[in-house]
Amino acid sequence: MSAAPPAAAVGSGKELANPPTDGISNLRFSNHSDHLLVSSWDKTVRLYDADANVLKGEFVHAGAVLDCCFHDDSSGFSAGADHTVRRLVFGSAKEDLLGRHDAPVRCVEYSYAAGQVITGSWDKTIKCWDPRGVSGPERTLVGTYAQPERVYSLSLVGNRLVVATAGRHVNIYDLRNMSQPEQKRDSSLKYQTRCVRCFPNGTGYALSSVEGRVSMEFFDLSESAQSKKIGVVRPCCLLRSLKFVCRELRYAFKCHRKSEAGRDTVHPVNAIAFHPIYGTFATGGCDGFVNVWDGINKKRLYQYSKYASSIAALSFSKDGHLLAVASSYTYEEGEKSHEPDAIFIRSVNEVEVKPKPKALAAP
C-alpha cells in the first residue's frame, strides 16, 4: 500500500495502571461500553474501565491465558494453556468451567448470532459450547469439528466463522451448519499465519503472517462480486507498481518492514483490528508500530509513533473513538531483556481512520 507522510509524534496514549506482569495475549473492548478485557501469560484475565483507568476485576487461572472475549459488559470467556474454557462473571467473582480441549486452547469467540462460544485449540479441533448449560461441561458442548492443523486464530462476522490454522490452512464455516466448511482455502501468504479478522461488512477477511504481509480475502470469489467490493477490475499494472500481489482480485501488501542498505528487515504482523464505523483497519507488528490502512483505496492512512516493544494486540472501542494497544514482547527474538508489558489507550482522531476521497483525474 502507498505510504502517507510520517505522522508527527503524538505520544503513545494513556497508559493503564495495574497491567499484566507477563506477555499480553489479547485485549478486547466491550460491545456495550469502554470496558476492556485483557488476557495474559501471567495467568490472569483482567477487566478494566479503560476510560476511567480503573482495574475493575481479575481472575487468576492455573496456567497462561491465551485469549479472552466478552459475553456481556461484566462477564466473558477465557481460553487457557491448561486446556480449559472458562466463563468469568466479574460482578459476582464467579467462575464456571465450560469444558476442555486435549491441548492448550488458543482462541475463543462468542457468537451473538448463534448464542454459542467457539474455541480453537492446538489439539486440531474447533468446539462450540452453549454457555447456558449449567449442569456441567458435558451439557455445554454442542459439537467438535476436526481441523487440518493446530488452530492459530479465529474470527466471526454474523453467522460466518473463519478458522486459520498451522500449515496456512483457512476454513470458512456457516455457524448454522457446522457439519463441514463452506470453503477450504490455503492462505495466499507464504509463511505462518498470525491473525485473521473479518471485515465488519461481512464480505471477507484480512489475514496477517510472520513475513510482514497482510492479505485481503473475499468470501465471494466471483469476479463480478469482487469488482463491486474493491471498486476496480483487474488493475494488475497499477497493483504491481504498488507491490501488490493480484490473484483474481484477492491481494496482499507488505507492511511492518524496514529497508536499510538494500536489505529488508521483516517483522511479524501480530494484530489486526477493524474500525467499527469506517471499516479501515489497524495492524500491529513486532517493529513496535501501529499502522492504519484503507483497504478499499489501498493506502496507509496513518502511522503512530513507535512503542517500546512489540504490538501484541489491538482493539477499537464500540464507537471507534478509542484504540487499545498492547505493547508486549512476543519473544520473536527469544529470551532477552525487554520493556515491561503495557497497555495504552489512544484517543482516535477522525483524520487517522477515515478514508480519504479519491482525487478525480484532470479532464
Chain segment 204-229, per-residue pLDDT in tens: 999 999 999 999 999 987 754 544 44
Handedness of CA 222, 225, 230, 234 (dihedral sign): positive
Q: If pLDDT is split at 50, 70 and 90, which confidence band does 47 have?
A: very high
Q: Which three cell numbers stand for residue 346?
A: 489512544
What does the pLDDT read at residue 51? 94
Distance CA 334, CA 191 (A): 19
Categorise residue 331: left if φ over 0, alpha if ψ from -120 to 50, beta otherwise. Answer: left
| pLDDT value at 358 more than 80 | no
CA atoms within 13 A on the CB side of 212: 16
Q: If pLDDT is split at 50, 70 and 90, which confidence band does 246 have?
A: very low
- The residues of the chain that CATH labels 2.130.10.10 are 22-149, 187-221+249-354
Out of 3-17, 87-101, 248-262, 329-343, which region has the weakest mean confidence (pLDDT)? 3-17
What does the pLDDT read at residue 242? 36
Tell which residue, 229, 326, 341, 323, has the closest CA to residue 276.
323
pLDDT tens digits, one per residue of 135-174: 555 568 999 999 999 999 999 999 999 999 999 999 999 9
CATH 2.130.10.10 fits 22-149, yes or no: yes
What does the pLDDT read at residue 296? 87
CA distances from 113 to 117, 174, 337 (A): 11, 11, 44
CATH for the stretch 187-221+249-354? 2.130.10.10
Out of 8-12, 198-202, 319-323, 338-342, which region has the weakest mean confidence (pLDDT)? 8-12
| pLDDT value at 251 more than 70 | yes
Tell which residue, 94, 99, 95, 69, has the closest CA to residue 82.
99
68 contacts 45 by C-beta, under 8 angstroms: yes
What does the pLDDT read at residue 257? 87
Q: Give the H/E segment covering residue 228.
A: helix 223-230
Q: If pLDDT is split at 50, 70 and 90, which confidence band does 362 have?
A: low
pLDDT tens digits, one per residue of 259-304: 877 888 899 999 999 999 999 999 999 999 999 999 988 899 999 9
171 contacts 154 by C-beta, under 8 angstroms: no
Out of 79-83, 109-113, 217-221, 237-241, which region has the weakest mean confidence (pLDDT)? 237-241
Considering the entire predicted model, what is its pTM? 0.88
Strand, helix or coil for residue 239: helix
